[in-house]
Structure 1
Amino acid sequence: MLPKSVSRDEGSVLLDRLPGWLAALGGLGWFLWLGGGAVLSPTRIDWLTQGDWAMNLFGWLFLRQAPWGLPLGDMPNLFHPYGTRVSLTDGIPWVAVGLKPFSGWLPVNFQYTGAWLALCYALMGYFGSRLVAVASARAVPRVLGGVLLALAPVLAARFGHPALCAHWLLLAMLWLNLRDIPDERTAWRSLALAALFNGVAAGVHPYWVAMLLPLTAALAVRVARSRRLGGGRALAAVGGIALLDGLLFLLFGYLGGPGLGAEGFGDFSSDLVTLVNPMGWSRVMPELPARPRQGEGFGYLGLGAMLLGALAVASVAARWRVARALSWRRGLPALAVVLLMAVYALSWRVAWQGRQVVDLSALYAPFAAQTAAFRASGRFIWPLHYLLVGGALLLVVRLWRDRPWVSGVGLGLALAVQAYEWRADRSSLRWPVAFHRLQAPEWKEMKGHYRHLALFPPQIQWLCRYDEHLVNKLSYLAYREGLTFNSGNAARVPPQAVEDCRAALPSGGVDAETVYVVNPEHLTLFLQSGARCGVLEGLPVCVRDSRQDGFATALERQPLRLTQP
């Protein structure tokens, strides 16, 4: 019985949404099992001070102190004097820029990465449930199928790169491509939702747009073939969505600046056996050989999903008459673009268990700029991963719709095996990181007297010498004291800084508004130039010799002098 305050129509809507919410809770529960509870606190930042997490964290922290400008997310205070953008630190621009106006009310130590990862898992369950609803309105398969998709190994393996954890966008686009389009209104609504998902993707990470836009084109083809919309209008919709993506790329600063190109195409690829290679993540399946950088092309289906795939094949054979009557053609446009993306995932160096078997370099040579921008081609295996698992789900549920207990048992077994097999102990969320801050009270004397903190020479990941622990400690110090910083890590770094990495002394001499943490190899040159230097927390620190402020005076407590010959 429904409460008197709820009409029957409202009640049916609530009941229809309930499986999606339950699947979302299931996805969230799996995230917590993988260690997510330890990272949800927004004031806990220590776990983020390593690898790409640190890049994301400091991108957001320095954005909080940066002036507003265009493109949105512009940060002249990081990689100073060249600057960067929060988009180039993979800081999820929609979230970072959206939170910036409220920065004054947020705690000094504040991060949103943990909440973002939790949201991604919840949305995986939700849109997984919506995808299963294409084949059945029953609650049980929708909940079990949604949770199974949330347990995708390719998602849990991406924790180190939060912006690339929005796999729910792929499920959402597959749902749009495979669901019924009974009338013109539904066709327009599908294209509008595709525009929304593309817009979200453009403010999360460029790779999502590179995957979603082809799936949007596939949706337009299907809409046009269904005769719900004319081909011209469907094509115009895709053009408008592509224009939207381009404008958002400009707005968030992905275009311009250092650009998106980088080395690695052919290395960050998928292997021909990637769908069955657990790469050490399985309790059951053996690890197969792979090249060192092919972790980017990790596409393992999971033993539970493979069992479900076997059940789907057996179901087609057992219920061939029912299977023949299915509307197979509706999935052909999506299948075509997904297979093309899977081919790109293999890159020019097609490998079988780590050994090159085909050379496609001549095919990709004319597209060097594009392949440099999307060098981690292996990530394009994800759409095929989800199409295979989602397709198996839909087949099992649809073919046994008259005997739902069969699909229920099959999905339940697949879910149990998938959960058991995954080595949750390898989750990076379960291994806390100790962050050793610089604690000396003398550092606080910099505030109000200096504008910049600099490593000399600069330390920039991928460009010059890089000591991650030192850079992270100084990045946090600069943030806490409201100073600019010249070093760090970003997905794309200012190439002109390479000359600074090789310099013997700062261009223009020792700057009066800068505190330098100097490499011992360059210390003699600083002292010869007349800089005032001392040791602070074991670090050689220098300022201009004319400075008489409290910080400069504090350096005299452990002074560094030129040794007499």
Structure 2
Amino acid sequence: MRGAEAGAYSRRSSRETAPPMSSNVPLPVSVPASSHRALLVARTVAVLGGLGWFLWLGGGPVLPPTRIDWMMREDWAAHIFGWLFFRNADWQLPLGATPNHFFPYGTSVALTDGNPWAAVLLKPFNALLPVDFQYTGPWLGLCYALMGYFGARLVETVSPRAVPVALGGTLLALSPVMAARFGHPTLCAHWLLVALLWLNLRDLPDARAATRSLGLAALFNAIASGTHPYWVGMLMPLTLALGVRIVWSRKLGLARVAAAVAGIIGLDVLLFSVFGYFGGQGLGAEGFGDFSSDLATLVNPMGWSRLLPDLPAAPRQGEGFGYLGAGALLLVGLAAVSVLVRLREARTVDWRRVLPAAVVVGLMAVYALSSRVTWLGQTVADLGALYAPLEKATNAFRASGRFIWPLSYLVVIGAVLTVVRLWRNVPAVAVAALTVALAAQAYDLREDKSALFKPVHFQRLQSPEWAALQGPYQHLALFPPHAQWVCRYDEALVNALAYQAYRLKLTFNSGYASRTPQALEAECHARLPRDGLDATTAYVVLPEHLRPFLDAGARCGRVEGLAVCVVAGNTDAFAQGLARQPIH
């Protein structure tokens, strides 16, 4: 057996000295069926490791799709209401459009960061789904499972052994960066980055494999386009790097690769349009230069570590959080030592296969630093003049710090692959290193920092009087409208009314979206609705605005302590019910 392994190792070593990037080193030419089964088990272990870590971080209570109360807070509320109002809306373009939310201007699932792909794929089954239904919890669990899976596939590029594959895949799923994004569920699809890095680093033995890699890159880009624009901003450069590697390795010609990459870009743009990202509201917003990464971000826990101290950072640099974790940092050190100890083995590795991906990851990391480069929160360089001509792009991707994520993962992946590759003929060393790193990573991460553990108190409106709105009324409006970051915003009141409007299949004029209709801002301080009182609208009116409504002849009364007004001429059951607690 040892002789066979030595022969395989010799054959692999001869392939490693081939021309640049023409072939790479990962697996033997023929892998026994038993090894395939072992790798399948290893991938499954990594998937379960990712899911288990998600549960440890508080994922259990959010997994059941019929539990929605936990989402009635901050960005989660934007996501759930984007989906719920979409359920009540008719199909139209752009896909995910919700004209009944932020009425009369409308919004979309995309502009509430509500995961357009999930919403569009589930809407055909709307009649079969419970009234209270969310997909965000299962989505988060899926993201962790896929992190483990693609992490395992990455380790397979340098080792066919099951134990390092399982350990390395699980280690990647324990990323602090991913856990820190629970507040923005669509930004938890970090597996897309790992998948693109896998495509960039895996073996490309022939043109067929190269073509398959481009096809998978197109698939991952398509998923990214209907998940969150920032993923496309990161995946597209990695797709270009993949194209460069394929051309460089002479597996496919330049014209064919260029056509494929152009097609992927076109697909991204088409899906952006179909899902409504190119709306009249615009994609720009303030914050570029503030939502950045610090030069020390890879080693700054920002409260997430039990073992390492926090370092200074600017107030809004949480968006650029890139902490690797104590276990991953330990493995980086072990990888560096391994290169020195196993120098002869290191010289046989074709390090150039990672070069195209490393270049684009480095460029994204530079962008993550933004126009104000900081060290421990203090500005050390001002690049404002450099970015001034790119204002539209930087406003669209204002949270530049997120572009540190590819570097964070590439560093960890590089450490895992280096240790496994250099010690592959002494696998016990690699297994020991990965085991210690995994244990340190699990212990280091403070699970109590998980947003999934934060309590949410959602109070539904209980009065049966609200049911009388259904039929005579088409709209429920909070006046003046409340919109996060634009107008006054009472989260508890907005969420209670929005949920009631959803249950009664009414439109609603307030909420939380990543990009809010600009015309809405003009109504924030209006005394009365712009076009006067509408007979099909029930208005929940703030106390300081009651007098203008009464002067306009509205009939007002209290329902569950809220002031509600309708047109004086309405004689329906709800209007008559307002007389039980009238407001004069």
Q: Is 1:334 aligned with 2:361?
A: no
The equivalent position to 2:319 in structure 1, one of 290, 296, 317, is 296
Scaled by the length of structure 1, the TM-score of the pair is 0.97
Q: Is 1:61 aligned with 2:84?
A: yes
The equivalent position to 1:95 in structure 2, one of 118, 121, 130, is 118
| Aligned twin of 2:192 | 169
What code does the residue aligned with 2:515 have? R
Residue pairs, 1:297-316, within 5 angstroms: 297-316=320-339
Per the TM alignment, residue 291 of structure 1 is displaced from its structure 2 partner at its CA by 1.3
CA contact (8 A) 2:39 2:165 kept: no
What code does the residue aligned with 2:502 have? Y
Task: Tell me the distance in 2 between the aligned counterparts of 1:363 and 1:252.
Answer: 32
Q: Is 1:200 aligned with 2:207?
A: no
Task: Tell me the distance in 2 between the aligned counterparts of 1:408 and 1:35.
Answer: 29
Per the TM alignment, residue 10 of structure 1 is displaced from its structure 2 partner at its CA by 6.7
Task: Tell me the distance in 1 between the aligned counterparts of 2:206 and 2:40.
Answer: 22
Per the TM alignment, residue 426 of structure 1 is displaced from its structure 2 partner at its CA by 1.7
| Aligned twin of 2:550 | 527
Per the TM alignment, residue 182 of structure 1 is displaced from its structure 2 partner at its CA by 0.9
| Aligned twin of 1:146 | 169
| Aligned twin of 1:419 | 442
What code does the residue aligned with 1:237 have? A
| Aligned twin of 2:57 | 34
Go from structure 1 to structure 2 and tell me whether the alpha carbon gap of 1:294 and 1:246 turns closer, same or farther (over 3 Å shift): same
Task: Tell me the distance in 2 between the aligned counterparts of 1:106 and 1:13.
Answer: 39
- The count of residues paired between Structure 1 and Structure 2 equals 554
What code does the residue aligned with 1:483 have? L
What code does the residue aligned with 1:72 have? L
Per the TM alignment, residue 227 of structure 1 is displaced from its structure 2 partner at its CA by 0.5
The equivalent position to 2:494 in structure 1, one of 462, 468, 471, is 471
Per the TM alignment, residue 341 of structure 1 is displaced from its structure 2 partner at its CA by 0.3
| Aligned twin of 2:410 | 387
Residue pairs, 1:128-527, within 5 angstroms: 128-527=151-550
| Aligned twin of 1:117 | 140
SS at match of 1:365: helix
Give deviations 1:160-185, integer Å, cap 9, x for gaps. 10000000000000011011111010
Give deviations 1:18-48, integer Å, cap 9, x for gaps. 2111100110000011111111111110000
SS at match of 2:556: strand
Per the TM alignment, residue 434 of structure 1 is displaced from its structure 2 partner at its CA by 2.1
Per the TM alignment, residue 413 of structure 1 is displaced from its structure 2 partner at its CA by 0.2
SS at match of 2:42: helix
Task: Tell me the distance in 1 between the aligned counterparts of 2:247 and 2:39.
Answer: 29
| Aligned twin of 2:3 | none
CA contact (8 A) 2:159 2:421 kept: yes
Give deviations 1:429-455, integer Å, cap 9, x for gaps. 123312111111111110011000001
| Aligned twin of 1:3 | none
What code does the residue aligned with 2:124 have? P
Per the TM alignment, residue 496 of structure 1 is displaced from its structure 2 partner at its CA by 1.0
Per the TM alignment, residue 136 of structure 1 is displaced from its structure 2 partner at its CA by 0.4
Task: Tell me the distance in 1 between the aligned counterparts of 2:447 and 2:38.
Answer: 33
Task: Tell me the distance in 2 between the aligned counterparts of 1:20 and 1:236.
Answer: 34
What code does the residue aligned with 2:234 have? M
What code does the residue aligned with 1:493 have? T
Give deviations 1:366-414, integer Å, cap 9, x for gaps. 0100001000000000000000000000000000001000000000000
CA contact (8 A) 2:241 2:357 kept: yes
CA contact (8 A) 2:35 2:160 kept: no
Task: Tell me the distance in 2 between the aligned counterparts of 1:28 and 1:465.
Answer: 39
| Aligned twin of 1:4 | none
Give deviations 1:471-504, integer Å, cap 9, x for gaps. 1111101001110000000111101111111211
Task: Tell me the distance in 1 between the aligned counterparts of 2:34 and 2:311.
Answer: 51
Residue pairs, 1:38-53, within 5 angstroms: 38-53=61-76
Per the TM alignment, residue 12 of structure 1 is displaced from its structure 2 partner at its CA by 5.4
SS at match of 2:349: coil
SS at match of 1:356: strand
Task: Tell me the distance in 1 between the aligned counterparts of 2:409 and 2:272.
Answer: 26
Give deviations 1:186-244, integer Å, cap 9, x for gaps. 01011111011001100100000000000000000000000011112111111110001
What code does the residue aligned with 1:465 have? R
SS at match of 2:524: helix
Go from structure 1 to structure 2 and tell me whether the alpha carbon gap of 1:12 and 1:399 turns closer, same or farther (over 3 Å shift): closer
Task: Tell me the distance in 2 between the aligned counterparts of 1:84 and 1:256.
Answer: 9
Per the TM alignment, residue 14 of structure 1 is displaced from its structure 2 partner at its CA by 3.6
| Aligned twin of 2:16 | none
Per the TM alignment, residue 13 of structure 1 is displaced from its structure 2 partner at its CA by 4.2
The equivalent position to 2:570 in structure 1, one of 532, 541, 547, is 547
Per the TM alignment, residue 469 of structure 1 is displaced from its structure 2 partner at its CA by 0.9
Per the TM alignment, residue 257 of structure 1 is displaced from its structure 2 partner at its CA by 2.5
Task: Tell me the distance in 1 between the aligned counterparts of 2:223 and 2:67.
Answer: 26
Unaligned residue ranges in structure 2 (runs of 5+): 1-30
What code does the residue aligned with 2:518 have? P
| Aligned twin of 2:24 | none
Give deviations 1:315-370, integer Å, cap 9, x for gaps. 00001111111101110000000000000001101111111111001010001000
What code does the residue aligned with 1:524 have? R
- Does 15-24 or 522-531 show the bigger shift? 15-24
Task: Tell me the distance in 2 between the aligned counterparts of 1:420 and 1:101.
Answer: 43
The equivalent position to 2:106 in structure 1, one of 79, 83, 102, is 83
What code does the residue aligned with 2:198 have? W
Task: Tell me the distance in 1 between the aligned counterparts of 2:304 and 2:76.
Answer: 21
The equivalent position to 2:48 in structure 1, one of 25, 36, 41, is 25
Task: Tell me the distance in 2 between the aligned counterparts of 1:343 and 1:255.
Answer: 27
